[in-house]
Amino acid sequence: MGYLGQIFVMAMTAIFIQNFVLSRFLGLCPYLGVSKKLDSAFGMGMAVIFVMTLASAFTFLIRRYLLIPYNLEYLQTISFILTIAALVQFVEMVIQKNAPALYKSLGVYLPLITTNCAVLGVAILNTKAFHADGITPYNFLDSTLNGLLSGVGFTVVLLAMAGIRERLEFSELPKSMKGMPIALILAGIMALAFYGWMGFKI
Amino acid sequence: MMYYAKLGFILLIFCAVAAGILAYVNGLTAPVISQRKELEETQTRQQLIPNSDFTLMSSADSSFSFYKAIDKSSGTTNGYAFISEGTGYSSRIKTMVGVDTLFQVLAIKIIDQAETPGLGAKCQDQAYFDMYAGLSETDLFVDKDGGKIKSITGATITTRAVTNSIREQIAILKKALIAGGDK
Amino acid sequence: MRFFSELAKGIVKDNPIFVLVLGMCPTLAVSTSVKNGLGMGMAATFVLICSNIIISLIKGVTPPKIRIPVYIVVIAAFVTIIDMAMAAYAAELHKSLGLFIPLIVVNCIILGRAEAFASKNNALNSLADAVGMGAGFTLALVVVATIREILGNGTWLDIRVLPQAYDPMLIAILAPGAFITLGFLMALINIIKGRK
């Protein structure tokens, strides 16, 4: 299997088979909180893809060249979350200065991303990830790519959810079901649909 | 500028204190963790190949290590124990395997996994372990691939990962023993 | 008695999961069995209590501009401590909670309480707040886990409660079941609230 084939496998896994939201339960707060409108969901999705890609790259370097050589693996959680927080802050400043238009649409979501567990999640998962052969651990490029693809997977389901919820506004629901309950049940049905990708027979 | 340097310094102090405390706790817990792991592995080995003493051995290039089981009373070789690793649906699955001198599986036990509860995690059941007993390399395939192992889930991810990792490891063990001249 | 009112509010009135809808990820992910739910709830409560007390004590020396990174450092330190302690003394639980132990760092409940409560109140009240919120979180986890474990496995805390003949509804343990269970629970709470 060539490298393109491996990338294809990684993409299918990250987006459909082990979707961050629906199968791994990561990034649920924005998934439920920012999915009421399609355009804000799109903004959030883009911001998450951006930060997840960068975070995967940086945390990989930190682990490989700082934590492992000096036997500091127990500082993994604390160093990763600080990296992510600093990264988010930095991205926010850069975008604000150089792309004010983009900042207007993404700005409000950026601070929320520090506590999006999908970002820390992908960084930690990358440290334990292996290729399909089960022997080669992820290298720098793989980790970065996995961050990007997992972010895409997050955005795909976020957009799908937002699309459904926009329509849901006009449907007649029992009063007690409105808002969060119906959103959760929707998510459950979506998760069920995504299980089809794995070939599960329930 | 001075103000930002001061902020950075305060943050640095907090980080240093936190890192110091963590280093201390790590020093306390790390030996406990490795000890517990070792004890667990020793006990599992004794379950798989009972009534034996184990000596650690490794292949010529020392890329693979395994244990030789010598019978406590007769002194003959009972078999070998080793750990195989494979990637399942959502985790690395580590299996401890015991084989006899003809490389037939005596018993297996999953020692580390985090598969989906209710589906892949069923690989921890005794009934699952029992399927492997008595099988040799040629039978160690899942039924979909023409072997004797029945899949525990529809997608066969976990079962295939475990089965293939055991089979591959037995092949490596054989090679290592032939190269080492110890049969 | 301010202490007790701060303690009680987290359990029912401001329940972090059912009312404030915070910390959804661990709630849905580890509620596959009551044992996991309890373990997660207690680990998060430990971190919440320690970080709330420390943050309340250092509120005088933390410059407001860098308070969030400081909170994160404090929380991450306690999370790593509980992570190492569980690996050493509760290995089984540590294995089954897996990734979600380090992810306690980004559990919105903990940072949320640090920012909204501990940074403005004294240590004693912060302790009460943390105990209440932690208990509320644990309670919600156990409720969700009870439904999922009984339906999906026929057991409660590994004790068989439904007869062997019961064919487990596997879906309750899987991801879709988590969402649907919590969805109906919240609808139920809305009905109860509507009656009052």
pLDDT at position A122: 93
Q: Do C176 and A191 touch (CB under 8 A)?
A: yes
Give A-chain residues touching B87 at CB under 8 angstroms.
130, 132, 134
Q: Is residue B112 part of a domain?
A: yes
C92 conformational bin, left if phi > 0, alpha if psi -120 to 50, beta if neither: alpha
The Cα–Cα gap between B133 and A75 comes to 42
Are B67 and B56 a contacting pair, CB within 8 Å? yes
Q: Is residue C73 part of a domain?
A: yes
Q: Is residue B94 part of a domain?
A: yes
Range of the domain at B70: 49-180
Are B134 and B105 a contacting pair, CB within 8 Å? yes
pLDDT at position B183: 44
What's the total number of domains in chain C?
1
Q: Is residue C160 part of a domain?
A: no
Give A-chain residues touching B154 at CB under 8 angstroms.
199-202
pLDDT at position C182: 94
For tokens 């972090």, name the residue. Answer: C16
Q: Is residue B20 part of a domain?
A: no
Q: Where are the domains of chain A?
A: 3-198
**Average pLDDT of chain C to the nearest whole number:** 90
pLDDT at position B17: 94
Q: Is residue B64 part of a domain?
A: yes
Residues 6+ apart with CB under 8 A from C25: A25, A26, A27, A28, A29, A117, C100, C103, C107
pLDDT at position C196: 66
* One pLDDT digit (tens) per residue for chain A, 202 residues: 578 888 888 888 888 888 889 888 898 888 888 888 888 888 889 889 999 999 999 999 999 999 999 989 899 999 999 999 989 888 888 888 888 887 887 767 777 788 788 999 999 999 988 776 666 788 899 999 999 999 999 999 999 999 999 998 888 888 888 888 999 999 999 998 888 877 655 4
Q: Is residue C10 part of a domain?
A: yes
* Mean pLDDT value of segment B150-175: 86
Q: Do A184 and C180 touch (CB under 8 A)?
A: yes
* Mean pLDDT value of segment B42-60: 88
Q: Residue A119: count other Cβ atoms within 10 Å of its Cβ.
A: 31
Q: Is residue C181 part of a domain?
A: no
Q: Is residue B169 part of a domain?
A: yes
Cα of first residue to Cα of last residue in chain A, in angstroms, is: 31
Q: Do B92 and A201 touch (CB under 8 A)?
A: no
What's the total number of domains in chain B?
1
Task: Give pLDDT tens digits for C119-169.
Answer: 999 999 999 999 999 999 999 999 999 999 999 888 898 888 888 888 888
Residues 6+ apart with CB under 8 A from B75: none
The interface pTM score, or ipTM, of the predicted complex is 0.88
Tokens of C12: 């029912």
Hey, which chains touch A, using 3+ CB pairs under 8 Å?
B, C
Q: Do B21 and C98 touch (CB under 8 A)?
A: no
**What Cα–Cα distance (Å) separates residue B89 from each residue in B67, B72, B119, B159?**
29, 39, 10, 10
Tokens of B164: 């293939």
Helices (H), C30-122: 34-57, 67-89, 91-97, 108-113
* Mean pLDDT value of segment B25-49: 92
Q: Which residue of B has its CA nearest to A72?
A: B23
Q: Do B117 and C76 touch (CB under 8 A)?
A: no
Q: Is residue C41 part of a domain?
A: yes
Tokens of A83: 């990296």
Per run of 10 residues, the mean pLDDT along chain C (length 196 residues) is: 82 84 86 92 95 93 87 94 93 86 90 90 93 94 94 88 84 89 92 81
